[in-house]
Structure 1
């Protein structure tokens, strides 16, 4: 996610910029759930959170928040190793000659990046200063075994109240990029959205942050969606991190490719991915990208509500640092 103009800048320094360090010191959850904890804020997804989510069900209308997994997905080669799913047919209308009956079957296989489409990042996804979430060493990830701690198999199924934060609709625009392609969502924005919805966040809630950016993907402009407008993306900013921590939010999921606002706060980009770093490595927050919130947000606006039951079970791929997921919101 580094634009050409950033080439040549010093990206090797291990020192966290001071303004990010100040926030880290206030939001770190290390040790909160024990020194060996690999779940982070998923510990907030308790029975009370599930019951609160169930209370949000009124009509029973269901919305899939997942993108289709196929060759027209959002991957365009940045980063270069991320690929859209490719399907390989292993057998087509064949039958097992050792089995009785007249049936035939087809089998297939898929190759894809674990974060190719709608996904959740694990707590092994981002590190700095040689450490992952809760102080686990970044060296616990290897090319042979993947993540030996905090892999996708440690992610919890999500059953809780989801709060739809629809800032474009609140602003009267189709997408936040109509205001500013790099719109930085801060704590004041979240307060405004929650006040407008008449909701008070509670521990274990998750935020479904709609920026409207995914409409570019739906319109067929994959490059605009994946690379932004000159590498500018709307999304949660450093100014939202303490709000999320202070309200004990369990997860934040967005409809963007980059997840967080770009460009980062510092002109020299020394704080690139600061929201990723603080959310995942320091807070243990569940986060994910490319969640399709368009149909859900329209239904919520029509119904005059922002609370839903969210059910999402990430694929428990052992050692993976991200996990595909097909979330469902129920009104």
Structure 2
């Protein structure tokens, strides 16, 4: 199977092959080859990485991982992290040396800031990226996150600050509600307001304002979110064919936000134009989805200097067959 050159012309959304079992769902399983495990991360070529490095002007860095313990309690019935500090060697009168280790228990890689790998979500046919089966995901070698770890993730990233844009332009907006999901028109308007011009291979970061909203909640309100996650509301991208076309035709390498999912939830009642972003992006395209990215300090910097494009790096856990990982991501300005 011919592998497309990531530095060459790329197919448009309407040129993608169609899954015969569901004609609404465009596929991308064969663009990078039958044995590929990187998906749209293939767009992070050496040439694009070199150009992205030129965006480093001040040397300021912005870590994008939220606290491992947040949200607390975790959402979606995921386990809470337990951290044990082990005093391995204790000082004595004869030897003043102390040594410590620590251990993480119940560490769910999707309880806090995370990349979803291609093994996280299948398509409607039950298969994953590049037609990997559930057995392939369980075995680990075909599309495990170790493939990303061994190559690394780096390139040009762009922040779209939806929360700041809505405040500045007087638009009605609620980060904790899905009644008015963010549309493609909203994304274009926000980019224009910020002066952003997208490039092929960009890593798109979106600040919906969910973490800022969450941090203002009381302990009881946070506890209720963890216990009753099915009532959780948060704004996010509109789950539609138009949104998928917008995401694909911009040829992003990956998309991440500060919300628990990328899509607005709860989703509106089913309609003919509704399409699940997770299913298509992860299983059909191989476009990584990041969730609960901590973007507050980065957003403040971008607002101050009006530079919304920057160098980005991420080093995921090198775990064979991993399904997800903290991104260990940093923005460099």
TM-score w.r.t. the length of structure 2 is 0.81
Would you say the 8 A contact 1:119–1:289 is kept in 2? yes
Q: What is aligned with 2:234?
A: 233
Q: Which residue of 2 aligns with 1:196?
A: 193
Counterpart in the other structure of 1:85:
81
Aligned position for 1:246: 249
Matched residue, 2:104? 110
Task: State which of 147, 157, 160 in structure 2 corresponds to 1:162.
Answer: 157
**Kindly tell me: are residues 223 and 211 of structure 1, through their superposed partners in 2, closer, same or farther at Cα, counting changes over 3 Å?**
farther
The question of whether the paired residues in 2 share the 8 Å contact of 1:217 and 1:224 is answered with no
How far, CA to CA, are the matches of 1:77 and 1:255 in structure 2?
Answer: 15
Q: After superposition, give the CA deviation of every residue in 1:93-126 in whole Å (9 maximum; x if it has no partner).
A: 448xxxxx86331011102101121111111110
Return closer, same or farther for 1:105/1:263 CA change in 2, 3 Å cut-off.
same
* Residues 115, 324 of structure 2: 8 Å contact kept: yes
**Secondary structure of the equivalent of 2:101?**
strand
1:67 to 2:103 alignment:
no
1:112-158 deviations in Å (ceiling 9; x for gaps) = 1011211111111101312100111122233xx5x332112012422
Deviation at 1:234, TM superposition (A): 0.9
* Residue 280 to residue 223, structure 1, CA distance change in 2 (3 Å): farther
Q: Which residue number corresponds to residue 7 of structure 1? A: none
Of the candidates 260, 265, 278, which is equivalent to residue 262 of structure 1? 265
Of 286, 293, 296 in structure 2, the residue corresponding to residue 294 of structure 1 is 296
Q: How does 1:1-331 map to 2 (within 5 A)?
A: 21=22, 23-25=24-26, 28-70=27-69, 73-74=70-71, 76=73, 78-80=75-77, 82-94=78-90, 103-111=97-105, 112-128=107-123, 129-142=125-138, 145=139, 147-155=140-148, 156-172=151-167, 176-177=173-174, 180-221=177-218, 222-223=222-223, 230-239=231-240, 240-267=243-270, 274-331=276-333
Structure 2 stretches lacking a partner, 5+ long: 1-18
CA RMSD of aligned residues (A): 3.1
Distance 1:152 1:269, change over 3 A: farther
TM-score (norm 1): 0.81
Shift of the 160–224 alpha-carbon distance from structure 1 to 2, 3 Å rule, reads farther
- Length, aligned pairs only: 301
Q: CA deviation at 1:33?
A: 0.5
Q: Which runs of 4+ in 1 moved over 6 A?
A: 268-271
